[in-house]
Structure 1
């Protein structure tokens, strides 16, 4: 059994690039807990708040509950659920999981393989991270779920059959934006080498975002992280001839910062025109901007319909 392939092919609700990261988040959480207690079970009532927080922080603004992945991950062959009545999940309802004393853990076959090959855990985690989240969030996610991984020492592991990243994108994007952050104008250099500047994917690579200039922004490290976390976004109009001159910085209404630094570096960006690419370079394409607005930017608390866990 190829556990990496199984993890890479988790069955998820999917339509038009919509993010549904509830199963990957639960599995990452379970791997983190496995490192602490390889045979321990995760009682739903004990982990419900943790999973709800992960979904709120790392999922799109869309109504869902941790009960969905807790029940539906069973169908992927990596997770099992038991209740006071024995093996099997009582369903995907919060009440049923709470009332039945439901508890879950990795299936026995996977636990046995992990005992024989502890390095598999890290490879599985990297596949989940690579397929569902941008690199800027990988360490944050590991910290959030308690995973001890040496991410900095190992290149991102691409899942079987997945395309490879184009390493030339960074240079192309930084050159197009003349080595300055599109949000704040930061243009730091150490000698002739840019420092603290990164090429951000607008539509995440993990969700078929191309390694093209019109899917990229040159951002400083801070604003790249905030862009990928949904604190910042891109609004406004396309401008004449699709020039992108009408693009403006969006700031999530959920962001709060009391310090002068938080106001200066984040809050006051709201409505500011993007520093666009140099003439002749393509600005962010409308479809990529729309994807980020709907799938990443924390701009609305409007309850969309629940996502099923399939």
Structure 2
């Protein structure tokens, strides 16, 4: 049985183009708990708050419930649910999952495969991370779910994994003249830029192209904040700062809140600015809450 292929082809809700990482987040959480206790089961009432936090931190802005993936992941053949009444999930109702003592864990065949080949766990985790989240979030997501960060690169079936265009980074950094589009940082050591990255506006993991009009040159700090939804790009290519961001230090004010309403630095004339449909995707799918008003 090809567990990497199953991980790569999780069936997900696709309504209105809204990203739905509910199943991948539960799967990653279950892999982390398997590392901790290979024989343990996850009682819904005990892990509900953990799963809620994962969905709030790494899921879409719209409200949702962890009961959905807890029930529906069974259909992908990687997850098993039992209740006080026996095998099978009672449904997606939170009250039913709590009342029936629903517990879930990785499917028996998958648990056996992970025991035979411990490296398989890292390869499955890499598939889930690569297909659903940007690289800037991989490390902290692994820590959050209790996975070892050093997950392995998988061998994924042909056609299941796109190939990145290695020219993207140089193309974006050149267009933005090696300066962060948010703060203007342009550090180098010798001739080499340091701390500058090519960010995808629409995440590559979710079909974002390796095109200049989907790229931003950002310093490492602002890349992370952009992918976490603290920062965004609005109309007129001006910087959005989420009202949900809280920071009281002079550094937080200088590097984050003071950016609200500022125009982007770059790209240079004659090159492609961010396409409107990629900006809209990020605002709707990643940016958190409402933007702060522009200072007078």
Q: TM-score range by the shorter chain?
A: over 0.9
Quote how far apart the aligned CAs of 1:156 are.
7.3
In 1, distance between residues paired with 2:156 and 2:242?
A: 31
> What is residue 39 of structure 1 aligned with on the other side?
39
**Could you tell me how far 1:259 is from its partner in structure 2?**
1.1
> 2:50 maps to what in 1?
50
Q: Kindly report which structure 2 residues correspond to 1:171-182, keeping only aligned pairs within 5 A, or say none.
A: 171-182=170-181
Question: What is the CA distance between 1:18 and its match in structure 2?
Answer: 2.0
Are 2:124 and 2:154, in contact at CA under 8 Å, matched by a contact in 1? no
Q: 1:7 to 1:197 in 2, by over 3 A?
A: same
Contact 2:126 2:153 in 1 (8 A): no
Matching residue of 1:190: 189
> Which residues of 2 match residues 207-286 of structure 1 at below 5 A?
207-236=206-235, 246-286=236-276
1:299 Cα deviation after fit: 2.2
Quick one: structure 1 residues 156 and 279, their matched pair in 2 at CA, closer, same or farther if it must change by over 3 Å? farther
What RMSD over aligned residues (CA atoms) do the two structures have, in Å?
A: 1.4
**Displacement, 1:258?**
1.5
State yes or no: 1:63 paired with 2:55: no
Gaps of 5+ in 2: 292-296
Any conservation in 2 of the 1:127–1:157 contact (CA below 8 Å)? no
CA distance in 1, matches of 2:20, 2:277: 19
The answer as to whether partners of 1:158 and 1:164 remain within 8 angstroms in 2 is no
1:221 Cα shift? 0.1
Q: Confirm or deny that 1:30 pairs with 2:30.
A: yes
Q: Give 4+ residue runs of structure 1 displaced > 3 Å after superposition.
A: 154-160
Q: CA deviation at 1:91?
A: 0.7
- Residues 170-209 of structure 1: per-residue CA shift (max 9 Å, x gap): 0000000000000010010111100000000000111111
**How far did residue 163 of structure 1 move?**
1.6
Closer/same/farther in 2, CA of residues 281 and 157 from structure 1, 3 Å limit: farther
What is the aligned residue count? 290
Whether 1:293 and 2:283 are equivalent positions in the alignment is: yes
- SS in structure 2 at match of 1:69: helix
Q: Report the TM-score, using the length of structure 2 for normalisation.
A: 0.95
Q: Contact between 1:22 and 1:59, CA under 8 Å: does it hold in 2?
A: yes
CA distance in 2, matches of 1:196, 1:102: 46
